């Protein structure tokens, strides 16, 4: 019996922004589920921070989804930020030159206005 591909997404609305924590693997099978949860958040016109500190793997479909989320957020007047990518994920982003398009932070930024999560 094939086990379902591991992916969990936690969402924390901090008022001025939203942090979505992506846990597990993003690939062709799991990326649509991530978009289902996260794309409406990107369309809200606020800053969406994707916490990638628990993301173990991403493939080209995941990278494509990041570009899509960036475009959706920007079109709505918001922004997409990536935070704390693990070395494998950061390498994939850098090799595809997406680091020039996407804002990447070494850790999840503090909430705007100083509130804590």
Quick: pLDDT tens for 59-102.
999 999 999 999 999 999 999 999 999 999 999 999 999 999 99
CB 24 within 8 Å of CB 58:
no
Contacts of 66 (CB under 8 A, 6+ apart): 50, 80, 82, 93, 98, 102
- Residue 55 has a pLDDT of 96
Mean pLDDT computed over every residue of the chain: 92
CA distances from residue 69 to 2, 4, 7, 18, 37 in whole angstroms, order as listed: 30, 24, 18, 13, 11
- Above pLDDT 70, what percent of the chain? 92
The model's pTM = 0.91
Angle at 108 between CA 68 and CA 97, to 5 degrees: 40
Q: What is the pLDDT of residue 114?
A: 60
């Amino acid at each position: 019996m094939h086990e379902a591909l591991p992916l969990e997404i936690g969402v924390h609305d901090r008022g001025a922004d939203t942090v979505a924590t992506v846990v597990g693997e993003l690939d062709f099978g799991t990326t649509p589920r991530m978009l289902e949860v996260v794309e409406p958040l990107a369309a809200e016109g606020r800053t969406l921070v994707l916490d990638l500190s628990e993301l173990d793997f991403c493939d080209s479909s995941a990278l494509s989804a990041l570009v899509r989320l960036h475009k959706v957020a920007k079109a709505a007047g918001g922004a997409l930020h990536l935070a704390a990518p693990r070395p494998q994920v950061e390498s994939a982003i850098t090799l595809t030159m997406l680091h020039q398009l996407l804002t990447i932070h070494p850790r999840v930024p503090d909430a705007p206005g100083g509130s804590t999560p």
